[in-house]
């Protein structure tokens, strides 16, 4: 197994070898170039100078500039020997252009040298805040963490090493019996919902390992941030060795056969404190690899089983859909007489479908090979909607609901909360009581208890660290922990649904609810009761409520929040919801993160690490917390975020020992100071790594890509829907009164002279009946259309030359914008869009470094 240190040394050796070869090629080319320029200067005629330069381009396989055809120039040179009509000024222009073309390889060699030195600099700073240095590294940031880290560790220890005394198994059983014991079933269901749920739990089968299952587990674990970098690299080595895979599978199957004897071992599992991108500190276990694989396998099996069994309960008839704003039987039949059977496309149905697909048990995978990291701040997974994508869709859903209720002239109350230290504080007795109530077999309950009561010791305390047994909470980044947490919170989801006939929108333990004042109050009371019974504490710092009126003319006391609801602001990311239903940016929170970003950037000892920190913190974390653009947020939100990013950049470089006034100036100054390189083109900073750029992300470009197509007033979508709805009504009424309506011919004699329904009656319960309202609702949840970046001929042709196959597949619009913005300058300097020859650039090594898990400065 190659350790992190030896791998780094190997990467340094590869880069150094490339740099040595590059230096020799560069020296050889520069000598040749000087000889060529000297030979051209010795020519007595202008045509002779051009011919020498043209021959040199072919010898060295240098592309001619876009405005020159080498074949044509040779023809014109031949003409000039006999025909004085070929202008001498044109020959001089060709000479200058070809001399510039000879400079392009020189610039590429210089760039390749700089790029290689940047990689060497990054490799030489392995023990940096952005590296995954092993836990015993003397330079690892966790050894010198901030006061906040030690404070949070002490609080964590006070929770997990104390018995969860507020959890009463008898009270939990009584509570759950009251909720689940009297549920109605759907007509097609044979068994009562609770009985079917318990039968499903008893049917669990674990299965065994084979090499394919083992590789799936390894892939899933590598997507998490559980193991140390040394163990992560070992896991990659294991996954590429077929013989070793079979041996590991055999050993794990032996452990499954003797699962009743499984234990963590006596020595204690190493744990360490790490700082997350959002500033929170979390305690991670670092168990032995085979132990981690076994637990991951069991966790995935139970998580997918819970998803299936709880999903069946959702469809059993026990889960209710509110009857508010819904037609009763006579009204539905009357509507069918006039308009026939509806399409089924309605806001009510859309809400239920989105809740089920995006929010119901969102922490649990549907399939065994779903390796989504539930704690990731990263970009979406290709196959499964990522936690961040779901969080963004929640903002868009709330915003659309606010608009809809305002257009329907209804007040709406929104509240949010979460549980304080949910993972560490979840009592073991609560978990076991809930699973026992649901019918999980006793043998598995015993295994779960052993899993929960893990002996742990902090690596920061050194070799004499004390081993202590966990008495409360679940370990982070384990699928089995996710399954247990979701099983408990599933009870909360159903309790709220039963009391309100509405859904609690939940992302792990972050909970959101909106509806009428009364429904919101009932939901909040259900949450408080659940927390009390389960031994959990609600987080007052993240709890708040807001009432938004749909009528601007109401008297002030009607907009006041019910005293049955929590006080405090409603927040999403860096946004606050005001009383008018608009989101505004919390400038104070942004200032806090600017200071944090300053500290993280100052801690970076290499340029590439600095760029990676910028990309993760600004272009991803801060951008995510401003909210992704959507039609429901409109152009005002985009303009607000654009202005915020202007402030961030000004604040970042103010009152700090970072040179320059913006990102580009800082990097230009640093490159000059560290490597003596001047006159750096802006494209170098923003071009993708595969073209030899630094790959720095500009958070403003995605905003400008959609700004032109964004709605200046999102409410216009609902206005249009109402107009279309009214037009449908009058067309239908006219057809009915003219006797041309199909529905009239199909009507029975009983209703033959029935007058056509009124517009008010037709418009009632739009959320159930209006296809146009459904169209507007779904359109507002979507992102604005992106602009089409029109490539100029020089950039288009240069891009096609790079890789014709990739060119026809197309670049994403962000890269198109970057290439078009900086491409002309890069083409002029380097003869194309590639800043260096790919074989001379250590691009692969840079990509490996960028792909590693980021560990933030503590």
**53-88 residue pLDDT tens:** 888 888 888 877 777 888 888 888 888 888 888 888
pLDDT tens by residue, 356-399: 999 999 999 999 887 666 555 544 444 457 889 999 999 999 99
Considering the chain, what percentage of its residues have pLDDT values greater than 70?
86
Helix or strand or coil: residue 454?
coil
Residue 1 pLDDT grade (very low, low, confident, very high; cuts 50, 70, 90): very low
If you average pLDDT over residues 798-806, what whole number do you get? 82
Q: Kindly state the helix (H) or strand (E) to which residue 577 belongs, with its residue range.
A: strand 575-577
Residue with tokens 């089968």: 205
Mean pLDDT calculated for residue range 629-656:
90
Handedness of CA 276, 278, 279, 283 (dihedral sign): negative
- 645-694 tens-digit pLDDT: 998 988 888 755 666 678 888 899 899 999 999 889 999 999 998 898 99
- C-alpha dihedral over 278, 279, 282, 284, to 10 degrees? 70
So where are the chain's domains? 4-123, 211-318+360-584
Residues 133-142, mean pLDDT to the nearest whole number: 32
Q: Look at residues 22, 116, 110 and name the one whose alpha carbon lies nearest to residue 677.
A: 110
Cα separations in angstroms, 300 against 206, 238, 256, 369 = 10, 20, 15, 9
Which pLDDT score is estimated for 603? 84
**Which helix (DSSP H) or strand (DSSP E) does residue 271 occupy?**
strand 269-275
pLDDT score of 66: 74
How many other β-carbons are positioned within 10 Å of the β-carbon of residue 85?
6
Tokens for 183, please give them: 């549920």
DSSP 96-117: HHHHHHHHHHHHHHHHHHHHHH
- The 10s digit of each residue's pLDDT in 169-207 is 999 999 999 999 876 655 555 679 999 999 999 999 999
Q: How far apart are CA 853 and CA 297, in angstroms?
A: 22
Is this prediction's pTM over 0.85?
yes
Using alpha carbons, list the distances in angstroms from residue 629 to 264, 402, 512. Answer: 47, 16, 21
- DSSP single-letter state for residue 355: I
From CA 496, how far away is CA 489, in angstroms rounded?
11
Strands 269-275, 281-285: parallel, antiparallel or unpaired by DSSP? Answer: antiparallel
Cβ contact 286:625 at 8 Å = no
Write the pLDDT tens digit of every residue in 548-558. Answer: 987 644 444 45
Cα Rg of the chain (Å, integer): 33
> DSSP letters of 178-236?
HHHTT----TT-SS-HHHHHHHHHHT-------HHHHHHHHHHHHTSS-S-HHHHHHHH
Q: In sequence order, what are the residues at sequence separation of 6 or more whose Cβ sits closer than 8 angstroms to the Cβ of residue 453? A: 428, 469, 470, 471
* Cβ neighbourhood burial of 330 (10 Å; 0-12, 13-18, 19+): exposed
DSSP code at position 161: T
Query: Of 629, 674, 621, nearest to 648 (Cα)?
Result: 621
């Amino acid at each position: 197994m190659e350790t992190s240190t030896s791998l780094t040394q190997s990467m340094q050796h590869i880069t150094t070898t490339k740099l040595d070869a590059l230096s020799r090629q560069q020296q050889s080319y520069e000598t040749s170039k000087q000889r060529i320029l000297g030979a051209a200067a010795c020519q007595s005629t202008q045509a002779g100078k051009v011919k020498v330069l043209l021959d040199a381009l072919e010898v060295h396989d240098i592309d001619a500039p876009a405005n020159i055809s080498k074949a044509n120039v040779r023809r014109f040179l031949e003409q000039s020997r006999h025909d004085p009509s070929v202008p001498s000024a044109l020959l001089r222009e060709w000479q200058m252009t070809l001399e510039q073309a000879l400079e392009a390889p020189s610039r590429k060699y210089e760039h390749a040298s700089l790029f290689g030195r940047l990689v060497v600099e990054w490799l030489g700073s392995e023990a940096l805040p952005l590296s995954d240095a092993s836990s015993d590294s003397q330079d690892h940031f966790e050894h010198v963490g901030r006061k906040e880290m030690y404070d949070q560790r002490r609080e964590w220890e006070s929770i997990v090493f104390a018995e969860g005394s507020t959890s009463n198994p008898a009270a939990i059983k009584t509570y759950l019996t009251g909720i689940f014991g009297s549920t109605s079933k759907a007509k097609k269901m044979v068994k009562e919902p609770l009985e079917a749920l318990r039968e499903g739990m008893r049917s669990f089968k674990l299965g065994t390992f084979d090499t394919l299952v083992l590789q799936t587990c390894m892939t899933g674990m590598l997507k998490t941030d559980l193991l140390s970098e040394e163990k992560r690299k070992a896991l990659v080595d294991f996954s590429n060795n077929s013989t070793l895979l079979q041996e590991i599978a055999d050993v794990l199957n032996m452990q499954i056969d003797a699962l009743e004897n499984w234990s963590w071992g006596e020595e204690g599992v190493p744990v360490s404190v790490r700082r997350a991108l959002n500033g929170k500190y979390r305690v991670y276990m670092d168990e032995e690899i085979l132990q981690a694989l076994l637990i991951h396998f069991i966790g995935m099996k139970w998580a997918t089983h819970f998803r299936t069994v709880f999903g069946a309960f959702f469809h059993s008839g026990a889960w209710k859909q509110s009857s508010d704003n819904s037609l009763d039987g006579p009204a539905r039949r009357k509507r069918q007489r006039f308009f026939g059977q509806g399409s089924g496309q309605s806001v009510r149905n859309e809400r239920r479908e989105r809740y089920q697909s995006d929010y119901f048990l969102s922490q649990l995978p549907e399939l065994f090979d779903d390796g989504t990291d539930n704690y990731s701040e990263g970009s979406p997974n290709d196959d499964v909607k990522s936690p961040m994508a779901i969080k963004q869709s929640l903002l868009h859903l709330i915003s659309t609901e606010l608009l809809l209720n305002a257009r329907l002239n209804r007040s709406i109350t929104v509240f949010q909360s979460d549980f304080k230290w949910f993972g560490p504080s979840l009592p073991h007795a609560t978990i076991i009581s809930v699973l026992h109530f649901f019918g999980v077999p006793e043998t598995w309950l015993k295994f779960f208890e052993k899993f929960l009561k893990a002996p742990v010791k902090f690596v920061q305390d050194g070799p004499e660290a004390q081993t202590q047994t966990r008495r409360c909470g679940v370990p982070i980044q384990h699928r089995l922990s996710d399954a247990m947490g979701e099983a408990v919170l599933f009870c909360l989801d159903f309790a709220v649904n039963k009391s309100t006939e509405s859904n609690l929108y939940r992302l792990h333990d972050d909970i959101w609810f909106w509806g009428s004042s009364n429904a919101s109050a009932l939901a909040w009371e259900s949450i408080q009761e659940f927390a009390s019974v389960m031994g959990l504490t609600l987080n007052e710092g993240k709890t708040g409520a807001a009432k938004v009126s749909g009528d601007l003319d109401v008297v002030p006391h009607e907009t006041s929040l019910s005293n049955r609801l929590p006080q405090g602001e409603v927040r999403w990311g860096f946004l606050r919801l005001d009383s008018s239903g608009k989101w505004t940016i919390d400038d104070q929170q942004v200032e806090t993160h600017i200071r944090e970003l300053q500290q993280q950037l100052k801690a970076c000892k290499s340029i590439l690490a600095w760029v990676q920190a910028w990309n993760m913190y600004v272009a991803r974390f801060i951008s995510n917390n401003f909210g992704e653009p959507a039609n429901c947020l409109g152009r005002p939100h985009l303009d607000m975020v654009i202005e915020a990013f202007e402030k961030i950049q000004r604040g970042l470089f103010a009152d700090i020992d970072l040179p320059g006034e913006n990102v580009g100036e800082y990097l230009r100054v640093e490159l000059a100071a560290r490597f003596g390189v001047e006159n750096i083109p802006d494209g170098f900073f923003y071009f993708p790594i595969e073209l030899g750029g630094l790959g720095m992300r500009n958070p403003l470009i995605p905003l400008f890509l959609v700004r032109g197509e964004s709605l200046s007033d999102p409410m216009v979508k609902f206005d249009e829907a109402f107009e279309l709805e009214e037009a449908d009504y009058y067309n239908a009424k006219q057809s009915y009164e003219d006797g041309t309506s199909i529905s009239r011919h199909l009507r029975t004699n009983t209703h033959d002279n029935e007058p056509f329904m009124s517009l008010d009656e037709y418009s009632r319960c739009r959320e159930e009946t209006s296809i146009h309202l459904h169209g507007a609702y779904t359109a507002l949840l979507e992102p604005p259309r992106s602009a089409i970046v029109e490539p100029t001929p020089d950039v288009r042709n240069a891009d096609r030359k790079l890789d014709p196959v990739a060119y026809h597949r197309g670049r994403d619009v962000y890269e198109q914008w970057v290439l078009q913005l900086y491409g002309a300058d890069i083409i002029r300097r380097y003869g194309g869009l590639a800043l260096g020859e790919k074989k001379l650039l250590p691009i692969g090594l840079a990509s490996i470094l960028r792909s590693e898990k980021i560990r933030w400065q503590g």
